[in-house]
Amino acid sequence: MFKLGQRVIIVADSFEQSLPIGEHAYIIGRDRNPDTVFEWVIRVPKMDRHFPIVEADIALEEQLMEQEAERISREALLDFALLTRNEALFRQLMGIEEEEEAQEQAEPQKESMEDFIRKVNIKAWI
């Protein structure tokens, strides 16, 4: 996924190495040793240090920008739906329609009186 020399952003610090979260770094090596958990070696120019890290601790800047743009557009659509009182758009954004359809499909199964009493007794016993 990552290439040597690629610019990344530090998004986490899984092993509490005092990584500067949110800072830019460059991938300078790959650790192929099977006895270690670290997968990459990065260089943080601001600190002038190298850190061995796992892949979950870094992300590409482009991916983070795309995620932020999607989040902002979703929030803007949600604000618009609330402002214009557009219930259909609100339900679509919140995923409410999918939940209601799933509940409607589950409801047609009717239980016999004996099954209902058995379930009530089991819950009362617990």
Q: What are the extents of the domains in the chain?
A: 7-60
Q: Averaging pLDDT over each range in 21-25, 30-34, 87-91, 121-125, which range is the top one? A: 21-25
Per residue in 10-60, pLDDT tens? Answer: 999 999 999 999 999 999 999 888 899 999 999 999 999 999 999 999 999
Contact 32, 45 (CB under 8 A): no
Query: What pLDDT was estimated at residue 116?
Result: 78
Confidence band, pLDDT 50/70/90 cuts, at residue 109: low
Asked whether the whole model's pTM tops 0.85, one would answer no
**Residue in 72, 60, 63 with CA at minimum distance from that of residue 7:** 60
Q: Give kind and range of the element (H or E) at residue 22.
A: none
| CA distance linking residue 41 with residue 26, whole number of Å | 9
Compute the mean pLDDT over every residue in the chain, rounded to the nearest whole number.
87
Note whether 39 and 47 are within 8 A (CB): no
> Which CATH architecture is the domain 7-60 placed in?
Roll (2.30)
Residue 65: the pLDDT is: 94
Instruction: Give which of 83, 111, 110, 81 is closest to 96, Cα–Cα.
Output: 81
